[in-house]
Amino acid sequence: MKLDRILPFAKSLLEKAISNGDMVVDATLGNGHDTIFLAELVGENGRVYGFDVQEEAILSSRERLMENGLLERVTLIHSGHENIYNQIPSIHHGKITGAIFNLGYLPGSNKTIVTKPETTIAAITQLLEIMAPEGIIVVVIYHGHPDGTLERDSVVHYCQQLDQKSAHVLQYQFINQQNHPPFIVAIEKR
């Protein structure tokens, strides 16, 4: 297949935005896979701020980061991503070059604990305020669970309303696949 699948496409967008020494955000740590990817991109002089409401995600990510020798590049924050503005030091406001969200629930965990549209939209709004120009936010939308449709619709609607003078918004998805495949909304700050 020559078309990028969803997650490789997400990574390619982030690779274009993030350089060695940058400040970035993993808005939904999950099991730490994206956190490792971001920590490798920012290098020894960069910083990843990783958020999750579940202690299980914090512990899993910490373990995975330690195994890969990357923990010193990451600040793990046991808090919802709607607190990004207050949790990221103001010295880094205006310097965030990339962020990723994987919406839905923590794989292999309690499926009733899910991301919510209001907190996700609050986090995107805050990120747009503190990001560097040409910074990219990648939102991977998993909508095949009961609350997923509501979050999908709310996040897509919010992004469609963003002023084109302040952000470019892209939706990337396969439209002929069954079972609610995930898709991406990417936002580039102007």
pLDDT per residue over 13-56, tens digit each?
Answer: 999 999 999 999 999 999 999 999 999 999 999 999 999 999 99
Residue 56 lies in a domain: yes
Question: What is the bridge-based pairing of β-strands 74-78 and 23-26?
Answer: unpaired
Q: What is the CATH number of the domain that holds 161?
A: 3.40.50.150
Q: Is residue 92 part of a domain?
A: yes
Cβ proximity of 167 and 190 under 8 Å: yes
Cβ atoms < 10 Å from Cβ of 168:
13
Q: Is residue 31 part of a domain?
A: yes
Where in the sequence is the domain holding 153, given as residue range(s)?
6-189
Position 33 in a domain:
yes
Quick: pLDDT tens for 88-106.
Answer: 999 999 999 999 999 986 6
What is the per-residue pLDDT across 105-158, written as a single tens digit (0 to 9) for each? 667 767 777 889 999 999 999 999 999 999 999 999 988 777 888 999 999 999
Give the 3-state secondary structure of the chain: CCCCCHHHHHHHHHHHHCCCCCEEEECCCCCCHHHHHHHHHHCCCCEEEEEECCHHHHHHHHHHHHHCCCHHHEEEEEECHHHHHHHCCHHHCCCEEEEEEECCECCCCCCCCECCHHHHHHHHHHHHHHEEEEEEEEEEECCCCCCHHHHHHHHHHHHHCCCCCCEEEEEECCCCCCCCCCEEEEEEEC
The answer to whether residue 90 is domain-embedded is: yes
Q: Given the DSSP bridges, would you call strands 23-26 and 96-102 parallel, antiparallel or unpaired?
A: parallel
Tokens read off for 26 = 């993993």
Greatest distance between any 2 Cα atoms in the chain: 45
Q: Which two tokens stand for residue 38?
A: 């971001």
User: Which amino acid type is present at position 132?
Assistant: A
* Count of domains observed in the chain: 1
Beta strands 74-78; 167-172: pairing state: unpaired
Q: Is residue 1 part of a domain?
A: no
129/59 Cα distance (integer angstroms): 29
Assigned domain for 163 exists: yes
Look at residue 148 and tell me if it is in a domain: yes
